[in-house]
Amino acid sequence: MIDLDFVKRVAKRGGKFASVSVPALALDISVVFICMNYFGFIYQVAVICGFLAGVTFGYVFNYFWVFKGTERGKLTGYGIFLLIDLCGLVFVTLGVTYLVEFHELSVVAARIVMSVVFGLTSFFANTFLNFKLV
């Protein structure tokens, strides 16, 4: 039998996680744009810089709002959050490269596609492995 209370708690956290992810992605894409257009970075390096800026922003809001009440310490939680997202960084950078090089998507469009794919993975990994609030 499905525990509806459990499903509701996960869905509520998912909505909060998504609402944090939108401005984090906006920051990410802004950093990518600035790195490419003002500093001349190749897009793979720009994607890494943007990803790290977005992840750091996202962690603060996720820790204090989405996963409020966790018993996980701030630094330990950030370390695990960053480890999950560093795995995502490899996945996202390779995915963006693939979409840009083989499917001719723009860097921004490829980054948005990869953010949706990895965002879901990050949410579930942090919900069930890192903060364990369900």
More confident residue, 68 or 124: 124
Backbone angles phi, psi at 35, to 5 degrees: -60, -40
The pLDDT confidence band at residue 113, using thresholds 50, 70 and 90, is very high
The b/e string for 52-68 (b: 16+ C-beta within 10 A; e otherwise) is: bbbbebbbebbbeebbe
The Cα 128–Cα 123 span in angstroms is 9
pLDDT digits (tens, 9 = 90+) for 72-103: 888 888 889 889 988 999 999 999 999 999 99
| pLDDT over 80 (residue 15) | yes
pLDDT score, position 25: 94
| pLDDT over 90 (residue 62) | no
Domain boundaries, the chain: 4-130
